[in-house]
Structure 1
Amino acid sequence: MSDAVKNLSKAERVEFILQRLQSLYPDPPIPLHHKDAYTLLVAVLLSAQCTDERVNTVTPALFELADNPFDMAKVPVENIQAIIRPCGLSPQKSKAISVLSNMLVNEHNGQVPQDWGALERLPGVGHKTASVVMSQAFGVPAFAVDTHIHRLAQRWGLTNGKNVVQTEKDLKRLFPQESWNALHLQIIYYGREFCSARGCDGTVCDICRTCYPNRKKPKIVLKP
């Protein structure tokens, strides 16, 4: 009779992950510095292909220049670009910030809309950015999935999706809706601390080893 420890079932993995992340990060803060929905929207837009840490070094100067759509709409695009250049993709991002600020002023009375369609129509705002704003600024249940969450979800056997769209659907199906907003942040923090791309290959961190004690080879992750 074998004494080998079995890999956890999917239901067991979901329950363990929920409990482990809640114990580690019971009240996860939003990593991007902001003061309201507008500054969060701009910060999330800037975080595309850029670390949160770098965004947080750039936004103080940007928000000192303009921290609301009325003022930002008046700032020349080249002035915005000069400040946000360290974030990368500065030509596209500076134009998007300028245009979306004008749209907020002209179409939404200077307010960030609490509406999926209206948010995703803003330049530079895709589904992931809209999900972050809806969940973290307005408390609407959403599960923003980026490439990092996509990678961890595969390592933990929660999805075999080839893209973030399928991974988001799978995670929403597996986890209770009331956990989504915090869980998005909890997975990000856990990934940075314990299950990074270089720090774990699916066989190193506590969650990976607990979910798959019999896994001997690195988990090959399908890139989105």
Structure 2
Amino acid sequence: MTQALDFIQPNWPAPENVKCVSTIRAGGVSLAPYDSLNLGVHVADNIEHVQLNRQRLAQYLPAQPLWLNQIHGTHVMHATNYKGVCDADASFANTANQVCTVMTADCLPVLFCNTQGTQVAAAHAGWRGLLDGVLENTVDEFDQADQVMAWLGPAIGPDAFEVGQEVKDLFTAKNPAHAACFQPSNNANKWMADLYLLARLCLLAAGVKQVYGGEFCTFTDESRFFSYRRDGVTGRMASCIWLTD
């Protein structure tokens, strides 16, 4: 192993056989503005550097991650059907050593497992995915929603994510309770959106009551996280979850 990587380890009461990691931006070989553990092949970084970064991550995993082509949609890919990179924004597994993985750089990564330690999932949730139901679709893959727990990984925080009036209107039309997730911005007809609270409300509506994490801000914590909203051209982190035998 060439270099030890630092990870964010979810602080949640997952079963012992559920393993997960969330990468930070340090520890790779990519050069600025992708410095340094960029795992995204779609952001115009040197592809050889990205492959080296992915190899470094893979040393900590039981198998290659199930990489997705994320399109801000709601499709959940079942790991048993994985035939290579496909268009999806979530993946689900119920057998060991299938590494459900999503990439983010402000959007919200959500990791899931059931209390029995037999099912796991990972979802990529930007505001469009949250609105359209990517989290609800992911929960639907589990046998019992009330036995599911979720961890909210690093995303843009509520004091940094400004959106337009149309975004607030879409969410409040879906659920009036979503109004609590928007605070007035200093700019006219703009609102500060709380992705974490939106996710919690979506998960609660889907029957998930055990929700953890949500204390990060990719925008303000530049030393640890990539942020598309902050930098425009930047890398991607990965959040991975899998079952062991």
TM-score (norm 1): 0.30
**Structure having the larger proportion of residues in helix:** 1
User: Bigger relative contact order, structure 1 or 2, given CA contacts below 8 A and separation 6+?
Assistant: 2
**Structure having the larger proportion of residues in strand:** 2
TM-score (norm 2): 0.28
